[in-house]
Amino acid sequence: MVASEQMEATERKFVAADFEKCTGCGVCELVCALEREKLFDPRLSRIKVLRFHQLINLPVVCRLCEDAPCVPACPREALKQSEETGVIVVEDEKCDCCGWCIQACPYGAIVVHPEKMTVMMCDLCEDQPQCVEWCPEGALDLLTQKTFDEKVRKATVNKLIPETWR
């Protein structure tokens, strides 16, 4: 294994979306709810697909931020972040759904559990995210921030180059 591959293997990963591939089908939401809550109910999903018109679909999921702002925002200390994986665990018994963590999240990736009235976010399904596994379009992937940034840069350049030649 090359040094860069070893480093990537130990870096934190999160579920990243390719907006150009997402069709808004909702399979990721259903699979997430089934895996985490044992129900086919997209309201119980930790990934949300924002649907704008018929052509734009934006899957939103926790990015497992380094020094996640949601954790210190919680006045009841209901959120704990794993130092190894970055996964944020919600202690339901402490969470009163005050919303401070929701406001602190720069990605809008924290949602309210409609029955428990606590917050929930992606926990990577114990490092086997089912939304990635079951996405019929291959729009979701488990990536490091560095790899995600590289993909975004390449996609941006590929879009800009043809525009400048017109």
Per-residue b or e along 25-53, where b marks 16 or more CB atoms closer than 10 Å to that residue's CB: ebbbbbbbbbbbbeeeeeebbbbbbeeee
Prediction pTM value:
0.85
Q: What share of the chain is helix, strand, coil (3-state, %, to 5)?
A: 35, 20, 50
Residue 162 pLDDT > 80: no
Q: Provide the pLDDT for residue 165.
A: 60
Q: Which is it for strands 13-17 and 140-144: parallel, antiparallel or unpaired?
A: antiparallel
User: By the 8 A CB rule, do 15 and 129 touch?
Assistant: yes
pLDDT tens readout for residues 87-100: 999 999 999 999 99
Contact 137, 25 (CB under 8 A): yes
Query: What are the structural domains of the chain?
Result: 12-61+122-166 (no CATH), 64-106 (3.30.70.20)
Query: pLDDT tier at 2 (50, 70, 90 boundaries)?
Result: low
